[in-house]
Amino acid sequence: MINAAPLASPLVRLSNAYLVDPEDGSLTTATASVWIDENSGRIVHIAYDEDDEVAMNSGRRSLASFYAHNGLAEGREHELETCRTVDLDQAILSPGLIDVQINGCFGVDFSDWPSEDVLGRTAEEAYLDGLEKAARDLTCTGVTSFVPTIISQTSKSYENIVPAIETAFKRAQKSILGYHLEGPFISTQKPGCHPQDNLTEAKGGWDTFLEMYGDANLVAVKVDKAGGRSGGDVGAGGENAMVKLITVAPELQGVMGSIRKLKDAGFVVSMGHSTATTSQALEAVNRGASMITHLFNAMPQLHHREPGILGLLGMNQATSSGPGRLSLHTSQMVRSVAASPRRCDPSDEPPFTRSRSGSSSDEVLSSSPSSAMSQQRRTRSTLMNLETDQFGAQTVTRRSDSRKPYWSIIADGVHVHPMAVNLAYQSHPEGCVLITDAVQLMDPALPDGLYPWRSPEHLIEKSGDSITLSGTDTLAGAAVSLDTCVRNMSTFCSIPLSRAIHHATRTPAKALGLKVESTKGAIRVGWDADLCVWDRFTGQVLSTWVGGKEIYNSTSVKA
């Protein structure tokens, strides 16, 4: 129900919703309201729908993790009562989903640079229009931010594609966070569907990366606590403006020695399409690699004597320095809760297991965090600084980057068996990043069949959520949407829907670095008003808000 506002105001109140906690992915145990500003595109206030004092006296959880203070500029308090209100009818309200690996969708291929255009557009204009179409269409799946993934290309292709994103930024396209360059420095033994002819080693070390991607594309940009950017030099530190993530095989010649420079150039370095040994994978982590690309896929199977990259999920403080270091029994040392895999609350149950009838809201929602979880949160706070600016926006500064790597996974039930997904999740839940690895055929309205892939003579076959190279069983990306992966993750790992959402919002934001981590992936005052509304019984996306404006609604799409 929408009530007409008596006074014009850019604020919109999203009321009567259960919020996903930014710390652990649990739900508030009472409904709350979130006020967003359509002009600034930011969250300005959060409060329980019932009186805060009544809520706390009745055992409701504090909303302290959502904001430092109300964040309202002086004189705006009256707008809280006079603004337009959208009643969410006790749905789940979460941050918008973030997909850090998506090759294309809805007919758009991010690695395809147009050669000509029948509409008279330049190649860059046609390419950017495709990016914007993808950003718009993805909102029906709950995605509000994404990292377009470019598979292994030639240096000429990178010269065209990578700088184009700066124009997208100038068009105020805030959904695009920067590129994911997957290759070409990946193993020829684990190419997946990457063009074999484009794969290469970095024989010249760092110079080879400069030659392949282009000097200008490796310029780091300093990011201050307010999110501002300033220019830098190649390898100057900070974050890269155009490229967020790069996937490499650390065992290739010249790659290992370049990882630190890649990190300093602003890349999040991920390991993938690789045959790296355990020692090589550990060395890559020690040099700055902080992520694993689509776990289990395009890497050797787990072997108990040589686990390889997969073995990184079993890292601890002793093994991170390699074999041979003395490891005390757990009873003989102080264990760091923040460095240990987090267990799900015993009282948490997966969604979709109870019928709508006869269920109270408390029966459907996950319970409050256990004391162990609360202790973990307190410990984690000692490893990072949380600061609040004059607008109430919180920024995060890490005190230590000594941790297990994040790991992305395609939870479509095709790329990885559900039991393997759960095995990985139980090993390192805090590092889980849900991705789609979707290609241009990811479109719920597209029928199964054979489709051309970059040229008429190359075909790929769509069958449900599966995409394979025609005539083979080689997976060529996916046709699954990220909201489907969220629902699958909840089922595969027997975790609440809200916690699965957490692994497609907060965890990817943290994996991408300070700029994204401090503005997206959480419902916090002062942060971007990129939001997703979910039916808490079915897990379906009901509506999506980007920059404070409703872009998608399950009953009608709003441009």
DSSP 282-335: HHHHHHT--EESSTTTTSPPP-SS--GGGGGGG--TTGGG-TTS----GGGS--
Helix (H, G, I), strand (E, B) or coil at 143: strand
Closest CA to 182 of 161, 204, 203, 205: 161
CB 109 within 8 A of CB 498: no
Q: Is the pTM of this model over 0.85?
A: no
C-alpha to C-alpha distance for 101 and 183, rounded to whole angstroms: 13
Is the pLDDT at 70 greater than 70? The verdict is no
pLDDT tens, residue by residue, 279-288: 999 999 999 9
Amino acid 218: pLDDT:
78
pLDDT tens, residue by residue, 159-215: 999 999 888 887 777 899 999 999 999 999 999 889 999 999 999 999 999 999 998
The residues spanned by each domain of the chain are: 1-95+346-402+522-559, 97-315+404-446+478-520
C-alpha to C-alpha distance for 422 and 348, rounded to whole angstroms: 16
Instruction: Give the 3-state DSSP-derived string for 187-237, with helices as H, strands as E and coil as C.
Output: CCCCCCCCCHHHCCCCCCCHHHHHHHHCHHHHEEEEECCCCCEECCCECCC
What is the residue-averaged pLDDT of the chain?
A: 81
**Residue pointed to by tokens 């609360």:** 374
CB 289 within 8 A of CB 264: no
Q: How confident is the model at residue 494 (pLDDT cuts 50, 70, 90)?
A: very high
Amino acid 456: pLDDT:
72
Domain 1-95+346-402+522-559 belongs in CATH node 3.30.70.1400: no
CB 153 within 8 A of CB 262: no
Is the pLDDT at 53 greater than 60? The verdict is no
pLDDT tens, residue by residue, 308-344: 999 999 988 656 655 444 343 433 333 333 333 333 3
C-alpha to C-alpha distance for 476 and 183, rounded to whole angstroms: 15
Amino acid 60: pLDDT:
58
**Residue pointed to by tokens 């269409």:** 137
* Nearest 10 degrees: Cα torsion 470, 473, 475, 478: 70
Q: What is the mean pLDDT of residues 112-124?
A: 83
Q: What is the mean pLDDT of residues 442-455?
A: 88
Lowest mean pLDDT among 220-224, 244-248, 500-504, 549-553: 220-224
Of all residues in the chain, what percent carry a pLDDT higher than 70? 74
Is the pLDDT at 375 greater than 50? The verdict is no
Helix (H, G, I), strand (E, B) or coil at 140: helix
Q: What is the mean pLDDT of residues 422-438?
A: 97
Residue 203 CA, distance from chain mean position: 32
CB 410 within 8 A of CB 485: yes
Is the pLDDT at 231 greater than 50? The verdict is no
Is the pLDDT at 385 greater than 90? The verdict is no
Residue 25 host element (H or E): none
**Residue pointed to by tokens 């055929």:** 441
More confident residue, 48 or 396: 48
Amino acid 433: pLDDT:
99
Amino acid 474: pLDDT:
83
Amino acid 62: pLDDT:
61
494: amino acid identity, one letter: S
What fold is seen in the domain 97-315+404-446+478-520?
A: TIM Barrel (3.20.20)
Amino acid 476: pLDDT:
84
pLDDT tens, residue by residue, 471-492: 888 888 899 999 999 999 999 9
Burial class (CB in 10 A: 0-12, 13-18, 19+), 164: middle
Do domains 1-95+346-402+522-559 and 97-315+404-446+478-520 share one topology? The answer is no
Q: How confident is the model at residue 379 (pLDDT cuts 50, 70, 90)?
A: very low
User: Which residues on neighbouring strands pair with residue 418, listed in sequence order?
Assistant: none
Amino acid 383: pLDDT:
36
Is the pLDDT at 440 greater than 90? The verdict is yes
Greatest mean pLDDT range, 2-6, 451-455, 486-490, 524-528: 486-490
Pairing assessment for the beta strands 179-182 and 143-151 based on DSSP bridges: parallel
Amino acid 66: pLDDT:
61
Q: What is the mean pLDDT of residues 72-86?
A: 77
CB 214 within 8 A of CB 235: no
Closest CA to 273 of 198, 219, 210, 218: 198
523: amino acid identity, one letter: I
Helix (H, G, I), strand (E, B) or coil at 548: coil
C-alpha to C-alpha distance for 104 and 507, rounded to whole angstroms: 22
